[in-house]
Structures are given as C-alpha cells and as structure tokens.
Amino acid sequence: MLQPKKSKFRKEFRGKRRGVALRGSTVAFGEYGLKATTVGWVSARQIEAARKKITYATKRAGRYWMRLFPHKPITHKPVGVKMGSGKGDIDKYVAVVKPGMILFEISGVTEQAAREAFTKAGHKLSVKTTFVKK
C-alpha cells in the first residue's frame, strides 16, 4: 500500500478542502488523463484499486502515470474508546484532491481503450472524475 517512507511529523491536522487545483491540472506525460471534478480525499487503497483496474482494462498495453500520492495521515480512534486521552493512531493515508487535478495519465493505447479504462477506474475513487485529452 502507498504511504510515505518518512515524514517530519507523525500526525497532521485535517485541513480545509476548498479551492481548485492550480498545479497539476494539465495532461503533462501521456495523451489522455483522468481529471477530478470534485474535492475530496482519495485513500491509498482507492488509488491502488484504480491503478489495478487501469492495468487490467488496458491489458498492460501502453504506459500510465499516477499523478497523486497519499501524503496525508488520517487518524482514527478505536470503537468504544472514551473522549480525551489524545489523538488517535494513524489509520490510513490519503491524497488531497481538488477540482481540476489530473489523477492518472495514459498513452500508447487508443482513445476508446483509455476512455473505458478511466471510466472503470473512476468508479473506484471517492471523487467525481472526467476524461480529458492533451
């Protein structure tokens, strides 16, 4: 599962999720891209599921790029634990996704194959997505 090798601080605040992506909002490496249209957190598990779906749908033809990485640790306290006694343990890592951000890119396949792969991958993610061309 994707997670940072090391980080400066173990736990983070949850932060504000507003605004649009200014950086990483154009298709840079491949021919086709999967673009986020809503704001949200995409977990490491969702990224892996979408990645697997892309490789399966394209039958490992062409090349793909992941343009997001789960840097943000999210904590969670166990069920039945009373209030207080500090922040919970790290439960998962998420990538903060803003509207306009390119999540995946692909090249070396037909547009129809890319469109189909990205539609299937989009179902695995917790944000709404759209297909874009370079």
Q: Give 15-31 pLDDT, tens digit per residue.
A: 998 999 999 999 999 99
- The DSSP code for 17 is -
Residue 66: closest CA among 49, 82, 83: 49
Domains of the chain: 32-75+89-133 (3.90.1170.10)
Q: What is the pLDDT of residues 55-96, one digit of tens each?
A: 999 999 999 999 999 999 999 999 999 999 999 999 999 999
CA distances from 19 to 16, 33, 114 (A): 9, 21, 28
The whole-angstrom separation of Cα 115 and Cα 109 is 10
* Distance in angstroms (rounded) separating the CA atoms of residues 83 and 54: 42
Question: Looking at residue 106, what DSSP letter applies?
Answer: E
- pTM, rounded to two decimals: 0.94
DSSP string, 32-98: EEEEE-S-EEEEHHHHHHHHHHHHHHTTT-SEEEE-----EEEEEPPTTPPS-SS--EEEEEEEEE-
3-state class (DSSP) for residue 113 = helix
Q: What is the pLDDT of residue 1?
A: 83
